[in-house]
Chains A and B, each alone.
Chain A
Amino acid sequence: MLGPSVAWYLSVSAFLFGVGALGVLLRRNPLIVLLSLEIMLNGANLALIAFSRHQGQGDGQIFALAVMAVAASEVVVGLGLIVAMNRKRITLDVDRLNTLRG
C-alpha cells in the first residue's frame, strides 16, 4: 500500500465534516447552508473511499458514487427552491423561515 496511512485521510475527512457542520449551524444564508451540506457529504465520501482502499474492497466506492448522485439531485432541488424564493423576494435568511413553529 502506497501513500499516507488511512489516519491522514480520516483526519481530512473529519476536518471537512466539521467545517461543513459548523457552516450549517452558524450561517443563515440558505445558499451557504446548502454549500456546507455538500462539504459534509464530501467529507463522509472521503471517509468511505479511504476505508474502501484500506480494506481493499470496492463497496465503499460504490456507496460514495450513490452519495454523489443523491447530493447532485439534492442540489438541484435546493438551488431551485432558493432561486424561487429569491424571485418572490423572500429574504434569504433561514431564521426568518419559522412558520412551522409549534
Chain B
Amino acid sequence: MTVGAWICLLSPLAGALLITLAGTRISRRTAGYLSTGSVAVAFGGAITSFIGLLGKNGEERDHVSTAWTWLSGGSYRSGFEILVDPLSVMMMLIVSGVGFLIVAYSIGYMDGDKEERRYFAYMALFVFSMLLLVQGGNFLLLLAGWGMVGLSSYLLIGFWHERPSAIAGAKKAFVMNAIGDATMALAFFLIILYTGTLSFDHVFNIVQNGDSGISNSTPINLIALGLLGGAVAKSAQLPLQTWLPDAMEGPTPVSALIHAATMVTAGVYLIVRTHVIFEAAPKVEELAAGLGAGTLLLAGLIALVQTDIKRVIAYSTMSQIGYMFLGVGLGAYANGMFHLMTHAFFKALLFMAAGLVIHALHGEQDIRRMGGLRTLMPRTYLAFLVGGLALVGIFPFSGFFSKDSILAAAMDHGWYGYVLWVAGLAGAFLTGIYTARLFFLVFWGEPSAFVQEHFHKPKRDVVGISLAAPVAALAVLAAIAGWIQFAPLWHPIETWLQTVAEPLVSPAGWQEAVSSVLAVVLGAAGIGVAWLLYGARTRRVPRLAFAQRTLEHKFWFDELYDALFYRPSIRIARGLGRFVENPLIFGSGRELGQETRALGGLLGRAQTGLLRTYALAIASSVAVLALVFVVVR
C-alpha cells in the first residue's frame, strides 16, 4: 500500500527525468507517450493505495512511510516521508487520474509544436510536484511540493516563451505564489517555535490536546493566517487572485490541469489537511469562508463580460474554488473535497472542450468571433453542454450534488453562515448566466464568417483520438460522478474522510432541500436570462457603462496593486539609485580609482631611468641604515 504510494509519487519524476535525459534521441510523440505512461503508472499506484486503505478499518487508515531522515538539527528532525491516509489518497486519485487524461489529451493538442519534449517533461514534473504536495508527510515536504508546484506552473504558463504576454503571465503567477509561499514559510517557523516539530501528527496533537490557552491565542491565529495566505495565493482567492486569468496564456491542457483541476485546489487541500489549526483559530477560518464568498461573487461578475473563451472558464474556476473555500472555511470539509473532485472533472472537461474549439479554429480564443459551432462540432457541443450543466449545478449532473451541499452547510452556521449562503446563491445565479452566455455565443446561432472561413474538422488519427477520448471520459465522469455522494441519502466521501477531518456542521434535511431547490432554480434562471440575451436575442444586453468598465478592469485590482506596490517600489528604486547608489556606491568607487592613479603618478616620478641615481639611492640608504644601526647600538 505504501509501496503503491511511493510508485505513484516517483513514477512521474522518473518520466520527467527520462524525457530530459533522452533529449532528441526519442521522438516528440514518444516523449508524449512516456509522460502519459508515467502518469498512468502513478494512477495505478494511487489505486493500489486506495484498495489497500479500503481493506482497513477507519482508525488504521493512517500510514507514514519514511524513506530517510532528510534534515536534522538539534532536537529538530524531518524525514523524507509520505503520508497515506484517506485525504491524501483521494487527492492522489484526482491528481493522477485527471492528470493522466489531460496529459493524454496533450499528445494531440501539442502535436507539431517544436518543443513538445520540453512540454511533456514539464507536465510530468508538475504531476510529481503536485503529488509531493498532497503526499508529503510533514509540513516541510508540503512546502517543498508547494514551491515546486509554483515552479512548474511558472514553466508551463511561460511555455510559449516567444510570447511576451505568456512570460508576463508566468512571472505574475510566480510572484503572487511566492507571496503565499513566504507567508506559509513564516507560519511554519512559528510552528517550529511553538511545537518544535513539523510532523503533522505531533503538531495536530499539541494543538488539539495542549493546554486550553492555545486556542484562539495570537500565535495560533498568526499560524492560521500564514497558512491561509499560502492557500489564497495558490488557489487564486481574494486578495491574491489576479494571476489566474493571466495564466491562461499557457497551452490549453495546462490551463485544464493546473489552473482548473489540480494546482489551484491545493489551497482547499491545505485547509482540510491543517483543519485542526484552523479550528483552533475560528476567526481565521471564518475569514477563509468570507474570502471564498467574496471571490465567488467577484469572479462570477467579472466572468460576465470576458470575451476570451479561456478567461471565462478561468473566472468560473476562481468562483468555484470560492465555493470550496466557503465550504471548508465553515467546517464542511467533506463537501469541500467533494466539490473539489467534481469540479476537477467538469472544469477539466470544459477546458478541454474549449481546447477542441480553439484547435478547430486555428487558435482563435475570442468568443465574439465564434458562433454556430453546434452543427459543425456536435460531439464537442454535447461535451460542453454536460460540463456547463454540471458547472451550473443542474440536476442530475455532478455539480448539483457537490455545490448544493456546501450551500446547505452554510445554513448551519448562524447568521454569518446565512450571509455566505446568500452570496453562494447569488453566485449560482451568476454561474448560470456566464456559463450559458459562453455556451450560446460559441455554439448557437449561425456560423459566423470567421468560423466559416477557418473551421477545420479534426481528423480521426492519433491526434484526433488523443483529443477526443479524454474529453469523452471526462464527460461521462462529469455527468455521473456526483452520484457518489447524495448528501441526505448516502455520503461515502464524508465517511471516507471522517478519520482525517470530522465535519463541524451537519445540515438538516430541510436545509439541504431548500438549498438544492433554490440553487437549481437560480441557476436555471441564470440560464434563462442568458437565453434571452444571447440565445434567442429577444432582449438587448443592458448597457451600464460604469459597471461594464469596472468589470472589464476586473474591479481595478491590477491597477490597485500597481499603484500600491509596483509604482512606489519603482519610485523608491529610482530615488535610491539617484541619491544613494550613484553618489555613494558608484561615486566612492570612482574616486578611489582616481586617487590611486594620482598617487601612482606621483610615485612614478621617482623612477628616472638613470642607473646612477638608483645606485646613489641604494648606497645612501645603506649608509643611513648603517649609521642608524651604529647609533642605536
Contacts and interface: CB of A to CB of B under 8 A. Distances in A.
B608 to A, nearest CB: 6
A99 interface: yes
A25 to B, nearest CB: 6
B607 A21 contact: no
Given A102-B604, A102-B605, A97 B615 contact: no
Contacts of A99: 609
Contact of A100 (B603, B609, B612, B615): B609
A97 B604 contact: no
A102 B615 contact: no
Interface string A70-82: 0000000000000
Contact of A95 (B605, B606, B612, B616): B612
A28 B159 CA distance: 79
Contact of A98 (B604, B610, B616): B610
B619 interface: yes
A98 B612 contact: no
B615 A101 contact: no
A98 B610 CA distance: 5
Interface in A45-59: none
B616 A25 contact: yes
B607 A95 contact: no
A94 B609 contact: no
B489 interface: no
B611 interface: yes
A24 B615 contact: yes
Contact of A25 (B604, B609, B615): B615
Nearest to B604: A102
Interface residues of A, number: 13
A99 B611 CA distance: 11
Contacts of B611: 33, 94-95, 97
A36 B48 CA distance: 100
A82 to B, nearest CB: 13
Interface residues of B, number: 13
Interface in A10-25: 21, 24-25
B619 A102 contact: no
Most buried by A among B603, B608, B611: B611
Interface in B578-617: 603-612, 615-616
B96 to A, nearest CB: 76
Contact of B606 (A24, A94, A98, A102): A102
Nearest to A97: B611
A21 B619 contact: yes
B624 to A, nearest CB: 14
Contacts of A97: 609, 611
A71 to B, nearest CB: 17
A25 B619 contact: yes
Contacts of A102: 603-609
Contacts of A33: 611
Nearest to A100: B609
A98 B609 contact: yes
Contacts of B604: 102
Contacts of B610: 94-95, 98, 101
B447 to A, nearest CB: 88
Contact of B607 (A24, A25, A94, A100): A100
A102 B606 CA distance: 7
A102 B614 CA distance: 13
B552 to A, nearest CB: 73
A33 B614 CA distance: 13
A33 to B, nearest CB: 8
A24 B617 CA distance: 12
Interface in A84-102: 94-95, 97-102
Nearest to A99: B609
B608 A98 contact: yes
A51 to B, nearest CB: 16
Contact of A101 (B608, B612, B616, B619): B608
A70 B606 CA distance: 30
B615 to A, nearest CB: 5
Contact of A94 (B608, B612, B619): B612
B621 to A, nearest CB: 13
A89 B140 CA distance: 83
A93 to B, nearest CB: 10
A101 B614 CA distance: 12
Contacts of B609: 97-102
A98 B611 CA distance: 8
A25 B620 CA distance: 11
A43 B600 CA distance: 38
A33 B603 CA distance: 27
Contacts of B619: 21, 24-25
A97 B607 CA distance: 13
A69 B605 CA distance: 36
A5 B297 CA distance: 117
Contacts of B608: 98, 101-102
Contacts of A100: 607, 609
Interface of A: 21, 24-25, 28, 33, 94-95, 97-102
Given A28-B612, A99-B609, 6 more contacts: A33-B611, A94-B610, A95-B612, A98-B608, A100-B609, A102-B607
Closest 8 CB pairs of A and B: A101-B609, A102-B607, A98-B609, A102-B604, A94-B611, A100-B609, A24-B615, A98-B610
30 contacts: A21-B619, A24-B612, A24-B615, A24-B619, A25-B615, A25-B616, A25-B619, A28-B612, A33-B611, A94-B610, A94-B612, A95-B610, A95-B611, A95-B612, A97-B609, A98-B608, A98-B609, A99-B609, A100-B607, A100-B609, A101-B607, A101-B608, A101-B609, A101-B610, A102-B603, A102-B604, A102-B605, A102-B607, A102-B608, A102-B609
Interface of B: 603-612, 615-616, 619
